[in-house]
């Protein structure tokens, strides 16, 4: 029997904890819970999320248990409640002070102080907020795509004009500065958009070209995460648009040479960033669009499970949507890896052919094969250590 005193308790989670929206990890739906004070994050299944979100200091455990029984058809006993409260206390997730009125924002979410908004990133985020309107952002993205297509169509003439810039020291310095400026703006754009949506930018360094954004997995809308991840490539595209306009407007052979060279380099910068392979931004955008955590590792895990099932060995069954998403990404990854491996073998074989003859391709093929075999032999990723255990499925409250 569950002691009546236990069910009368009204525990409350700390107010600085944040939850993610439902995400997918392979075939499973999970939620992320983060302690912003310590930076520690937890991965929890839907049933635990259901319970934790209701520990508000107002509802008793008995009331929460009744809601749980209505939702999942099972009642929780004293053993589960005791263990859950002990785990929450051990991880310092429970509040120890009385409930205080919370300040909420206009959309009903609790407002939290964002230190990034008071700095330079916050100033720029406020000034450039018009660019983040969906219609404006989409228009800029379309213009960038159109320009990339135009660069592809004009690749021959651009290369002929730009060719001297890659051998002239002065032109190379100017080209390097333009490329670095575009890369710096790429990182700056990630930070500005993240601050605009309320995420925390812990570090941005425009010299080493790094930007570390915290908490954006916990933003309430998927579109916000997609915009943060794609902001860098769009910023590269904006620089490319400006360079294209300057190429048309500025006279002179030197300007034509430098700007034509930058059109090629800038187009490569933009295109590389939208490739959907880790750790590039295109991979992050695709992961957010699919709401999938660890898309690449989970796709490899799915392919391994699929191969076991083809051999009639027991394997985990995946929901249709997860199977399609992970299967297509895994197939694309295999094709890209095969193409890259083939290029390496052909290129190295051509270099070694004068000295090794017909055996020139054996050595690079063996190196690539051993590399792939070593990668496939890596141990699987362990499940996260910080998990709130699932409630027992057979325990009834007497």
- Range of weakest confidence among 53-67, 256-270, 338-352: 338-352
pLDDT at 392 over 50: no
Chain centroid to CA 314: 31
pLDDT of amino acid 133: 83
| Whether the predicted pLDDT of 368 surpasses 80 | no
pLDDT at 192: 92
Q: Where are the domains of the chain?
A: 116-274, 295-376
Q: Mean pLDDT score of the chain, rounded to an integer?
A: 83
Confidence of residue 60 (pLDDT cuts 50, 70, 90): very high
| pLDDT for res 281 | 93
Stretch 314-323: mean pLDDT: 83
**For residue 34, what are the contacts with CB-CB under 8 A and spacing of at least 6?**
17, 18, 40, 41, 42, 215, 218
Question: Which of the two residues, 11 and 312, has the higher pLDDT score?
Answer: 11
Looking at the chain, the whole-number percentage of residues with pLDDT higher than 70 is 85
Would you say 243 and 158 are in contact if contact means Cβ atoms under 8 Å apart?
Answer: no
The mean pLDDT of 75-100, rounded to a whole number, is 84
**How far apart (Å, rounded) are the C-alpha atoms in residues 152 and 142?**
15
Residue 211, pLDDT > 50, answer yes
Of 85-89, 150-154, 374-378, 380-384, the least confident: 380-384
CB contact at 8 A, 240 and 147: yes
State pLDDT tens for residues 184-202: 999 999 999 999 998 888 8
pLDDT of 393 above 60: no
**Portion of the chain with pLDDT greater than 90, in percent:** 44
Q: Is 124 exposed, middle or buried (0-12, 13-18, 19+ CB in 10 A)?
A: middle
Judge whether residue 107 has pLDDT over 50. Answer: no
Q: What is the mean pLDDT of residues 296-302?
A: 89
The secondary structure of 182-216 as a DSSP string is: HHHHHHHHHHHHHHHTT-EEEEEETTTTEEEEESG
Q: What integer is the mean pLDDT of 365-394? A: 56
DSSP 25-86: ETTEEEEEEEETTT--EEEE-HHHHHHHTT-BSSS-HHHHHHHHHHHHS----HHHHHHHHH
Q: Is the pLDDT of residue 267 over 60?
A: yes
The answer to whether residue 390 scores a pLDDT higher than 60 is no
Of the given ranges (74-78, 251-255, 328-332), which has the lowest mean pLDDT? 251-255
Whether the CA torsion 372, 374, 375, 379 is positive or negative: it is positive
Quick check: helix, strand or coil at residue 255? helix
Q: How many CA atoms lie within 13 A of 340 on its CB side?
A: 11
Which tens digits make up the pLDDT trace of 110-166? 334 444 455 788 888 888 888 888 788 889 889 999 999 999 999 999 999 999 999
For residues 188 and 228, give the distance between their C-alpha atoms in angstroms, rounded to a whole number.
11
Looking at the DSSP bridge assignments, the partners of residue 205 are 210
pLDDT above 80: residue 356? no
Q: What is the pLDDT of residue 159?
A: 92
């Amino acid at each position: 029997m569950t002691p009546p005193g236990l069910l009368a308790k009204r525990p409350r989670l700390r107010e600085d904890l944040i939850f993610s929206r439902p995400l997918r990890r392979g075939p499973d739906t999970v939620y992320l819970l983060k302690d912003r004070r310590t930076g520690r994050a937890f991965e929890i299944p839907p049933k635990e999320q259901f319970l934790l979100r209701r520990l508000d200091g107002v509802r008793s455990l008995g009331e929460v248990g009744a809601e749980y029984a209505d939702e999942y058809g099972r009642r929780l006993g004293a053993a589960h409640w005791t263990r859950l409260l002990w785990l929450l206390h051990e991880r310092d997730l429970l509040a120890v002070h009385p409930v205080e009125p919370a300040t909420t924002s206009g959309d009903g979410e609790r407002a939290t102080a964002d230190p990034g908004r008071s700095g330079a990133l916050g100033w720029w985020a406020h000034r450039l907020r018009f660019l983040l309107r969906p219609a404006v952002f989409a228009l800029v993205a379309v213009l960038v795509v159109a320009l990339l297509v135009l660069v592809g169509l004009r690749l021959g003439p651009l290369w002929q004009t730009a060719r001297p810039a890659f051998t002239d020291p002065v032109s190379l310095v100017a080209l390097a500065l333009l490329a670095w400026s575009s890369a710096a703006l790429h990182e700056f754009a990630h930070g500005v958009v993240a601050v605009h949506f309320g995420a925390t930018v812990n570090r941005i360094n425009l010299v080493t070209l790094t930007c570390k954004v915290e908490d954006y997995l916990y933003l309430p809308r998927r579109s916000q995460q997609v915009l943060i991840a794609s902001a860098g490539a769009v910023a590269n595209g904006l620089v490319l648009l400006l360079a294209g306009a300057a190429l048309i407007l500025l006279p002179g052979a030197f300007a034509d040479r430098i700007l034509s060279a930058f059109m090629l380099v800038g187009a490569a910068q933009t295109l590389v960033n939208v490739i959907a392979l880790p750790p590039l931004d295109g991979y992050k955008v695709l992961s957010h669009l699919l709401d999938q955590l660890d898309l690449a590792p989970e796709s490899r895990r799915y392919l391994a499970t699929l191969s076991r099932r083809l051999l009639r060995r027991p394997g985990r069954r995946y929901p249709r949507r997860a199977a399609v998403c992970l299967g297509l990404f895994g197939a694309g990854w295999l094709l890209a890896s095969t193409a890259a491996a083939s290029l390496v073998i052909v290129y190295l074989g051509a270099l070694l052919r004068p000295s090794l003859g017909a055996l020139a391709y054996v050595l690079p093929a063996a190196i690539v094969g051993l590399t792939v075999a070593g990668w496939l032999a890596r141990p699987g990723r362990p499940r996260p250590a910080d998990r709130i255990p699932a409630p027992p499925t057979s325990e009834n409250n007497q």
